[in-house]
Structure 1
Amino acid sequence: MKIKVLIADDNSFIREGMRIILNTFDEFEVLGAVENGKEAVDYCQANEVDVAILDVRMPVMNGVEATRLIVEQTATKPLILTTFDDDEFIVEAVRFGAKGYLLKNNDPERIRDAIRSVYYGNNVLQDVIAEKLRSSLGSQPAVSSDAEPQCAIDLSPFTEREAEIMSLIAKGRSNKEISKELFISEGTTANYITSILNKTALEHRTQIAIYYLTGKIS
């Protein structure tokens, strides 16, 4: 079964280019391409869309507001494709339920992997986005993805294993990568993440990364 994708971008060159790129992968079916957030919301309400790829800056309705409505009213999973100057929208988009945040200048394979990851229930927060997030919220200076991320929260409510997992999530690791690194099953990793979500009242793992790096819930 193919992953059903909607593309929303007001730039026709990017919109149609993305359609061409995704159609080169057999695993995707591009259902449509629309010009603004309102059209994206309407389309997701009327059709069974698995993943909606949303630009941030669009006329009529931007990608952040579209994310909120799509999450509230449909089963579609929003993936934000953004540019370097859109970082002020990151926290709000994640708070509204965006499942991924990716830069437009990625190669096609990276975008393919992000769509696939979001479809299968994971959250995607590209390293450079996490770094810009730390910077914009006045947190610690950015570090490389191989360095230990700067923790901005009190870890006392969490077990040692939960703290390890939060650190790895903040480094952009997937559940599979975390399981391999800590020598535990993916089911056990998922259970730890559920415990972290319950303790923090957060909703998904991307919010865990932001909370760990900035100390901010939303």
Structure 2
Amino acid sequence: MPIRVAIADDDALIRDSLKMILDLDEDIQVVGVCSNGDDVYKLCMEVTVDVILMDIRMPVCDGIVGTKKIKQAFPHIHILILTTFQDDDYIFQALKNGANGYLLKNTPSTKIGEQIKLAYTGTMLIHPDITDKLSGMLRKEERKDLSDYMLTPREIEIIEHISEGYSNKEIANKLYLGESTVKNYISGILNKLELRDRTQIAIFYLKNRT
């Protein structure tokens, strides 16, 4: 079954161009194109969506608010923010709201489908340059001690790998564990930290690491 993708961007040229590119990939099916966050939220209520390409700056409902609404109602949907490097603060807010990473608007067309597929598998897509800036932003917020959460050394190790963008399979290979074991660890981590998804785990670690 192909990955079902929705596109939200107020620029019709970008929407149409992305759809044309993605329609060439037999592993991807574009199920809808929208001009703002509210429209793509409504689309998610009508059809099954796996991944959303979400612009940040849109009228009516921007990508930050749209991401929050969709992740609260449909936590299984993976959201990639469409952005430029100048949108650091917006990226930060979108990631806090549950976005799974971002896609630069100047990304080569040959890479777009690949990044969507990575996001669909749960891989977090954050450029190293943005990771460094995120760390600085997070340090400005209130920090907590990791020891307060009774995390085991193995759990902390997995958290570190998640923050570095590794998939469950890659973490399993690195730690010589079964992929199902890694998934169980992540479920336990989410429960202990009272978080919703992998992206929030990464943000939590970047904020609270020593």
TM-score (norm: length of structure 2): 0.84
What does residue 67 of structure 2 align with?
A: 67
- Paired letter, 1:25: D
Give 2:114's aligned residue: 113
- Greater mean alpha carbon deviation, residues 96-105 or residues 2-11: 96-105
Question: Going by fraction, where is helix more abundant, 1 or 2?
Answer: 2
**Structure 1 contact 15–33 (Cα < 8 Å) conserved:** yes
Looking at structure 2, the residues matched to 138 and 97 of structure 1 have their Cα atoms a distance apart, in angstroms, of 19
Cα deviation, residue 59, structure 1:
0.9
Who is 2:25 aligned against?
25
* Count of aligned residue pairs for this structure pair: 203
1:199 aligns with 2:192: yes
Question: 2:123 & 2:206 partners in 1: Cα distance?
Answer: 16
- 1:89-108 matches, cutoff 5 A: 89-108=90-109
Distance (whole Å) between structure 1 residues aligned to residue 34 and residue 85 of structure 2: 22
Residue 125 of structure 1 aligns to a residue whose secondary structure is coil
Q: In the alignment, what sits opposite 2:163?
A: 170
Tell me how far apart the structure 2 counterparts of residues 203 and 72 of structure 1 sit (CA, whole Å): 9
Q: TM-score, normalised by structure 1?
A: 0.82
Whether the 8 Å contact between 2:98 and 2:199 is mirrored in structure 1 is no
CA–CA distance in structure 1, aligned partners of residues 190 and 72 of structure 2:
19
Tell me the distance in 2 between the aligned counterparts of 1:171 and 1:211. Answer: 13
Equivalent residues of 1:102, 1:124 under 8 A apart: no
* 1:62 CA drift (Å): 0.2
Alpha-carbon shift at residue 11 of structure 1 (Å): 1.9
Mapped to 2, the partners of 1:175 and 1:104 lie a distance apart of: 27
2:127 aligned partner = 127
CA distance in 2, matches of 1:19, 1:135: 35
Q: Does 1:8 align with 2:1?
A: no
Q: Give the CA deviation at 1:118.
A: 3.2
Partner of 1:53: 53
Question: How well do the aligned residues superpose, as a CA RMSD in angstroms?
Answer: 2.3
5+ long unaligned stretches in structure 2: none
Q: Distance in 2 between matches of 1:127 and 1:92?
A: 16
| Higher relative contact order (Cα pairs below 8 Å, separated by 6+ residues) | 2
